[in-house]
Amino acid sequence: MEGARQRRDILTRGACRCCAAAGYHRELMKEYNFEGNREVYAEIFMECFNINLDTHNTSNLICSSCIHRLRDANSFREMVLAGQRALQDVDPLQRGEFAQGTVS
């Protein structure tokens, strides 16, 4: 596989801190770039789940499968927050809050 050798990522061999899978993984505390955005997986864990991953005396690596799941969880969280903001901006009448209980 020539393509794999051309990847710019420097991967470290070890166990994934999240699922314990052995392999070549990225680091939790290191800064990466994904689609033009900075990402640090340990920070995303804190924002998304309020989990401060302790990497002292244990693995500081995360596998690609867990990275995908973490990104998906974080984008779902961002969507829910955006939806909440959008609903708060809508007039209560449009939300239908006063539709019930009206007498004609």
Whole-Å CA distances, 44 to 5, 6, 65, 99, 104: 28, 27, 15, 40, 52
Q: Which stretch binds Zn ion (CB under 5 A): 42-50, 55-63, 70-78, 93-101?
A: 55-63
Shortest distance in whole angstroms from residue 20 CB to Zn ion: 7
Judging by DSSP bridges, how do beta strands 22-27 and 37-39 pair with one another? Answer: unpaired
Ligand-binding annotation for 18, yes or no, is no
Tell me: is residue 66 an annotated ligand-binding position: yes
Q: Could you say which of 16, 28, 53, 70 contacts Zn ion (CB under 5 A)? A: 16
* Interaction of residue 19 with Zn ion, rule CB under 5 A: yes
- Degrees to nearest 5, angle at CA 72 with 67 and 76: 150
Q: How far apart are CA 41 and CA 68, in angstroms?
A: 11
Binding to Zn ion (CB under 5 A): which residues in 61-90? 63, 66
Q: Which residues bind Zn ion (CB under 5 A)?
A: 16, 18-19, 21, 63, 66
